[in-house]
Amino acid sequence: MQKGIKTTTLFILSIMLFIPFCSSVKGEIKDIVEPQSTEKDSLIKGFANCNKSNTTTSACILHSKDLTSSFEVKYNTSIDGVYLRVTYNGYNELGNAFVAATNESSGCPGSETKCIKFYKDASIRINGIKDATFKFEFIDDNDNLIESFTGAFTLSDIDLGQSVTFVNGNKNVNITKVDEEYLEYKENTVSSFANVAVNDVRMEMGKMKFSFEGSFELKYSFAQFNMYTDYKATLKRGQMGIPFNYYNIPTSLYNFSSENPLKTETEDYPKASASTGATFWFSDTMPDCYLKNESTCSKTEYVQSNISSCYMQKPAIIYDINNSDIKDNGVEDSKKTKTYCYIKELNSDRKYFDNNPTVLAGMLAWQNDDNQPLIETEYKMECVVIGKNEQVLLENIIKNVISQMKNSDWIKYLIIKDQQEFELETNVKDLSYTQLDDNSFEIEVKSSSNYNKSFKWQFLKKTGIAIRENMSIFDDFIKSDASYGIITPINLFDKELKTDIKFKLKIGDMDIITENDSASCPYTVTTKLITEGKKLNLAFRVIDTENPFPGIDAKGRMTGTNWCIDYGDSIKYDFNNDGSVDIIDASHYNKQNGYESNDVQNDSPSLELQNLLATPEGNFCSKNNPVVTKEIINSPSSNSTGTPIFSITLTPDSIKNIKGYNKGKSYDDFDLKCTDGEKCKSSFVTKILNGNYGVTVNNGSCKIGEGRSYCVGGGS
């Protein structure tokens, strides 16, 4: 009995011995870390809505229920390839009269500049008309009028899907009401908004140039609408920030798209400030919010780039000989020294020029209201001198510089009455210069005796002078690489004026712009998306590669908008399923006419196929559109076949090493090394590929150090 008890006890003990071991082998999931990026749910949703009616644009107009109507024109003729010119008079819902005509120019014959190429038995869609009188003119390739139709109708008299017909002999034009889809946008009333990314705004010698590459389509019933632009990121401080805020396009049915962009306009605003983003209002009247209070308009989402986190305060003393007393010195214009500054985007060739450094400084001072940059891009401001100046008296230049200093705002920073007020000529006792042996000059600014040495420049904030709060990036009190007559921006913030200021100025000769010798200081420029509570709802989805978009009825559904074919895509796909690849440049995609035949190489899709592609319900957002087919369904990588890009082996030791790297370092703290601002490579990944952290890597289709970014699809 006792042995039995011992045996049982031993058994229980043995079981207990294994209990902790058993528990340790459970598949414990430890601290799955949620994405740290706050951007996961903070982007714009609006584009997705737009795509219901406009499947391919990244920005579009949201339609008002009562202001838009669309109808389809079908022309029955045996002639193929005629051209249609439409002229119509009518009223929109607001009672505004208008006269408009087609605004297509591609492929028009002869002298016709506005027409629509009209395929045999095809149809076009015209938007935005309520009641109108129409004149349809059909033109042949030789610009001869084939026939014309004139008539009037009221769309409200036509039910959806029904037609009115203009008859001319045995020919006719059918007009069918087709546009119920726009009823979804009833929440937008008078004003509609477009989001347009403006990617190239620059100051160029006093002129503002801007270009739009936003692709959007405007469908509006107004006879005349105004496009208001307003750079919302106006200067918070400083004298800049004058927006050019009005742009009038006196036509209706104006269609911006990738094939018809509003490319470049120039406004003469010598002191205008600019950003790389803008907001546009399209309306028959100026939006109330614009007239009343800018802040009420800010509820609108818009894409905006902001230059914010770097500020060059009243910076450069730029000597411009053209404005000095030396200009009468007999120097030929071609030999006069010209100094100008530009803002240069680091790692790229983009520069923002202006001959007025204050303008550039103003641009750099740009900051948004909430001051929460998302992406930072470094800029620097450089000032250079071009031209020869051997005939210029150096002493006169120095005098001129000093004169400018005395009269400039810059010198005010050196003037202290007390810790909060400033007064010119209280503190500066003298400005003097000495010519040195190396043909340079030393300029000295002496402070007065009543100067308060405990003063810190941060008190300048109380004066209202434009100074950013975070000025820690400016360490140099004066940065004066003055080898070529340049005195570069200085920062006085948080500096105690315990000594007098000295700096050197040297005038040299330069034949060309030399950037290497120009002084610069780093800037951080932010590009910010103003979300105003709007979010981009991005869904992470694990997919079946054979049926990636199944839909609730298992028949498939439309893809999310980012999986639709977009303008600018070059589509390579066997549309006709005949074994040959069709290449279509989607940038030539025309919503009304489908594809032009010459846009399709190797194999022209049939007219029926074109029409299929030309509808939102067609291939462009369908579950098996060419993008889905190419990137998922037919992609070998989707089925995990072929050679992986990387094959990484993590051993317990390497896992420990990477955990050590993770300590104290957030997951979105990337160290990217870029080439010309592109093809960025992660330093961490580079180390991994080089075998650091004990990680074994089989490079697969990529080789270390040889275009890794290309292998994996390119860097940021």
- The residues in 267-296 that bind another protein, with binding defined as CB under 8 A, are 277
479 vs 623 by CB, closer to another protein: 623
Minimum distance of another protein from residue 297's CB (angstroms): 19
Show the tokens assigned to 518: 């120009």
**Residues of this chain, 211-250, that bind another protein according to CB under 8 A:** 213-214
The smaller minimum CB distance to another protein, of residues 378 and 603, is found at 378
Note whether 327 binds another protein by CB under 8 A: no
Q: Which span (311-319, 459-467, 591-599, 665-673) binds another protein, by CB under 8 A?
A: 665-673
Q: What are the tokens at 245? A: 């805020």
Q: Counting contacts by CB under 8 A, is residue 3 touching another protein?
A: yes
Task: Show the binding pattern over residues 29-68: x = contacts another protein (CB under 8 A), - = does not.
Answer: xxxxxxxxx-xx--xxx-xx---------xx---------
**Under the criterion CB under 8 A, does residue 557 sit at the interface with another protein?**
yes
Both structure tokens of 188: 């937008």
Among 25-33, 74-82, 226-234, 471-479, which window interacts with another protein (CB under 8 A)? 25-33
Nearer Cβ to another protein (465/680): 680
* Among candidate residues 426, 487, 432, 431, the one with its CA nearest the CA of residue 455: 426
Q: Is 27 exposed, middle or buried (0-12, 13-18, 19+ CB in 10 A)?
A: exposed
Q: Are 461 and 467 in contact (CB under 8 A)?
A: yes
CB 257 within 8 A of CB 216: yes
Is residue 694 close enough to count as binding another protein by CB under 8 A? no
Query: What is the Cα–Cα distance from 240 to 365, expressed in whole angstroms?
Result: 9
- Does the protein bind another protein through residue 632 (CB under 8 A)? yes
Instruction: Please select the residue that binds another protein; options are 292, 453, 656, 703, rule is CB under 8 A.
Output: 656
| Residue 704 engages another protein in binding (rule: CB under 8 A) | no
> Please, what sign has the CA dihedral across residues 76, 78, 80, 82?
negative
CB of 146 to another protein, least distance (A): 41
With contacts defined by CB under 8 A, name the span among 164-172, 453-461, 559-567, 579-587 that binds another protein: 559-567
Counting contacts by CB under 8 A, is residue 14 touching another protein?
yes
Give CA–CA dist 620/604, Å, rounded: 17
Taking CB under 8 A as the rule, does residue 562 contact another protein?
yes
Question: Phi and psi dihedrals of 9, rounded to 5?
Answer: -60, -45
CA 493 → CA 94, 472, 473, 689, distances in Å? Answer: 56, 8, 10, 44
| Paired tokens of 10 | 């031993």
27 binds another protein (CB under 8 A): yes
Whether the CA torsion 136, 138, 144, 150 is positive or negative: it is negative
661 binds another protein (CB under 8 A): yes
Could you give the 3-state DSSP secondary structure of residue 475?
coil
Does 527 interact with another protein (rule: CB under 8 A)? yes
Tell me: does residue 257 bind another protein (CB under 8 A).
no
CB of 216 to another protein, least distance (A): 10
624 binds another protein (CB under 8 A): no
Stretch binding another protein (CB under 8 A), from 70-78, 323-331, 499-507, 674-682 = 674-682
Stretch 406-445 residues interacting with another protein (CB under 8 A):
none
Total of chain residues touching another protein, rule CB under 8 A: 111
Residue selected from 349, 652, 664, 676 as contacting another protein according to rule CB under 8 A: 652
Q: Whose Cβ is closer to another protein: residue 402's or residue 685's?
A: 685
Phi and psi of 536, rounded to 5°? Answer: -90, 115
Binding window for another protein (CB under 8 A); candidates: 92-100, 105-113, 155-163, 680-688: 680-688
Instruction: Tell me whether residue 161 is exposed, middle or buried, using C-beta atoms within 10 angstroms of its C-beta: 0 to 12, 13 to 18, 19 or more.
Output: exposed
Shortest distance in whole angstroms from residue 623 CB to another protein: 11
Q: Which is nearer to another protein, 15 or 152 (CB)?
A: 15
Site for another protein in 347-376 (CB under 8 A): 374-375
Q: Smaller CB distance to another protein: residue 327 or 665? A: 665
Tell me: does residue 7 bind another protein (CB under 8 A).
Answer: yes
Sign of the C-alpha dihedral computed for residues 6, 7, 13 and 14 taken in this order: positive
Cβ–Cβ < 8 Å for 405, 317? yes
513 binds another protein (CB under 8 A): no
CA of 462: how far to CAs of 298, 365, 423, 491, in Å?
A: 28, 17, 14, 17
Q: Please, are residues 117 and 81 in contact by the beta-carbon 8 Å criterion? A: yes
Taking alpha carbons only, the member of 382, 474, 485 closest to residue 443 is 485
Report in angstroms the alpha-carbon separations of 177 from 124, 184, 234: 12, 16, 44
Closest alpha carbon to 410 in 501, 337, 343, 475 = 501
Task: Transcribe 98-112 into DSSP letters.
Answer: EEEE----TT--TT-
Question: Closest CB to another protein among 524 and 527?
Answer: 527
Contact flag: residue 631 with another protein (CB under 8 A) = yes
Find the shortest distance in angstroms from Cβ 43 to another protein.
6
Q: CB of 657: closest distance to another protein in angstroms?
A: 8
Q: How far apart are CA 493 and CA 477, in angstroms?
A: 8
Q: How many CB atoms lie within 10 A of CB 270?
A: 14
